[in-house]
Each structure stands twice: as C-alpha cells, then as structure tokens.
Amino acid sequence: YDQNTVVNIPSSQGGTEIVFVNVPNIGLIEDINIKVDITHSNIGNLVLYLAGPNDEFYQNFYSLGCDGETTLNTTFDQEGESLTVNCGDLEGKNIEPITTNFEDYYGTSAQGQWQLVVQNYYGGGVGTINSFGIEFCTETNVLSTEIYNFQANQVYMYPNPSQGIVSFKSTN
C-alpha cells in the first residue's frame, strides 16, 4: 500500500509532515515493512515515526541517523540489517528500525489509516517525501466446513440484520 505524492518536508526546527495510507481489511499482520523514499539536504536531521490505526502514540523507527547523507530510499524491516553499518549505502537496503519493534504489530489487524510522520528535528535544510509504502504479510482466518455438534442455551447472533459479518454469543 503506497502513497506516491511528493510532499515537502518543512525546513523549520521541529517542522513535521504527515503522510497517510489507508489499508483495507486484509487480515492479521504476520510481518510488516515500511518503505520510504526521502531526499533531504541532511537526513541526519530527520526523525521518522509510524502510527498504526490503533496506536495511541507515534512509534519512532528512525532517529537522527546517517548525518550528512542526502537520500533515504530503503525499507525498514524487523529482520533488516543494522543502520550504523549501512549509512553510506542505504539505497534499496532492508534496515532494522532503530527504536520501534515492528513485532508489536504482529497479530493485529492491518485495516485502517497508517501514518508516516517526518520531523525536521534540528530545522534547516530542505527535502521531500517522495514515497511511503507499507508491505504486509497477513494471516486470514478461514471458517471451517466441518460440522460441529454442541449444545448451548441462549445463543445470540448480532447484528441482526447483518451485512455478511456476524458474531455469536452464548451464556454457557
């Protein structure tokens, strides 16, 4: 799921820009990777945050690294390489997020609005967010076709009427 509209990063100290990606109901997250293509006169001035649909706070995944470099065109992947080893060669690399553990998203729904926040922490310099994308590996639960016999009193189905998705509740 990608957002490919070029967005300017504010040059003011602490200036932020937010880019949104909406994800449909594709299942539960088994793996997540964040793709960014950012150019800036010094990417070492930038802090990147991610906010999933259920996050109460922004999750910092890149912070003031690779001082003096001008391009951050990479994928942040929990299984990626260390950023400190790759500062001179970030093009197309899979880099481990610095402080956020993407595994915290595993088992949660991918559905909803995801946000990339880019902050020009020190200010100065100019740059753009050229693209932002999220790659998901998901698990979809499939209903079984097996027949189960069970006894229950007071079984409730809701909502009624439904639009194809229903829930059941039993007091037993």
Distance CA 31, CA 79 (A): 10
d(Cα 84, Cα 39) in Å, to the nearest integer? 19
Please choose, from the candidates 86, 22, 81, 17, the residue with its C-alpha nearest in 3D space to the C-alpha of residue 47. 17
Cα 172 to Cα 156: distance, rounded to the nearest angstrom: 11
Give the three-state DSSP class for 56: coil
pLDDT at 91: 80
Distance CA 166, CA 10 (A): 46
pLDDT score of 158: 67
CA nearest neighbour of 2 among 28, 30, 29, 34: 34
Is the pTM higher than 0.85? The answer reads: no
Averaged pLDDT in 10-residue chunks for the chain of 172 residues? 93 94 93 96 94 91 88 91 71 85 92 96 93 90 61 67 70 62
